């Protein structure tokens, strides 16, 4: 029997997306937390609140991304008390960047910060491994992003409506789930605009089925057929 190296680095995969639209932003993510080939959590929430108007999508090491989010949330709370008004999206993104860059040798996490403020409206900032910060009309991250760059080049457009942007995010995450073994579970989205925040949840049986995918079933017995009851 082969010996298992428990000290070997674990593969950590996910799919996270942030998209701007005409009036706000839509964030989306899958829900699979994997530890190598083992699915540790199939319904995790990778979209974390930083303030009332700013959220962050987390990828990479769950522990690293969670502790960065906790620190940033604490600093933004102090910032809001000192200024007497909510922090802007740019301030939140730069705090994420500062922590990620100053600890780049110890962190394995890529983040997407998205939100809305009264000064610049909806904004998306990508903060990949290493602590670079890039403001973009859309950002994708995690292992599933490898399958989505060409799709976004073709499908994304300026001036989308809220419904168009959320449909794009939902479709993109479901495409990544179909191709990326480290992405899976359900799709969660967060819509942020001047009216507030809306969270949506899409279970696997409500996602489109792509090439060679099997339809969702409650159990393996639905596929192979339930056996006949035993008689004596």
Catalytic pick from 14, 88, 109, 189?
14
- Angle subtended at Cα 142 by Cα 38 and Cα 156, rounded to the nearest 5 degrees: 135
198 is an active site residue: no
DSSP state of 112: E
Phi, psi at residue 62, to the nearest 5°?
-60, -40
Give 148-213 as a 3 state SS string. Answer: CHHHHHHHCCCCCCHHHHHHHHHHHHHHHHHHCCCCCCCEEEEEEECCEEEEEEECHHHCCCCCCC
Closest to 196 measured CA to CA, from 81, 113, 117: 117
Catalytic site positions: 14
């Amino acid at each position: 029997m082969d010996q298992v190296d428990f000290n070997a680095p674990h593969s950590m995969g996910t799919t996270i997306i942030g998209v701007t639209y005409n009036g706000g932003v839509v964030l989306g993510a899958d829900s699979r937390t994997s530890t190598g080939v083992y699915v540790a959590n199939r319904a995790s929430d990778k979209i974390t609140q930083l303030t009332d108007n700013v959220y962050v999508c987390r990828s990479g090491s769950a522990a690293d991304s969670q502790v960065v989010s906790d620190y940033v949330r604490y600093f933004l709370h102090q910032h809001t008390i000192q200024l007497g008004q909510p922090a802007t999206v740019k301030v939140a993104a730069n705090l994420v960047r500062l922590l990620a860059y100053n600890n780049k040798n110890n962190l394995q996490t890529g983040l997407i910060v998205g939100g809305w403020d009264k000064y610049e409206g909806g904004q998306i900032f990508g903060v990949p491994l290493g602590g670079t910060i890039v403001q973009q009309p859309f950002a994708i991250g995690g292992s599933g992003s490898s399958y989505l760059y060409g799709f976004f080049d073709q499908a994304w457009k300026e001036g989308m409506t809220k419904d168009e942007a959320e449909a794009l995010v939902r479709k993109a995450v479901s495409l990544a789930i179909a191709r990326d073994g480290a992405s899976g579970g359900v799709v969660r989205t967060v819509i942020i605009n001047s009216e507030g925040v809306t969270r949506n949840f899409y279970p696997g049986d409500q996602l489109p089925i792509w090439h060679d995918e099997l339809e969702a079933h409650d159990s393996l017995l639905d596929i192979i057929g339930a056996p006949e009851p035993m008689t004596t």
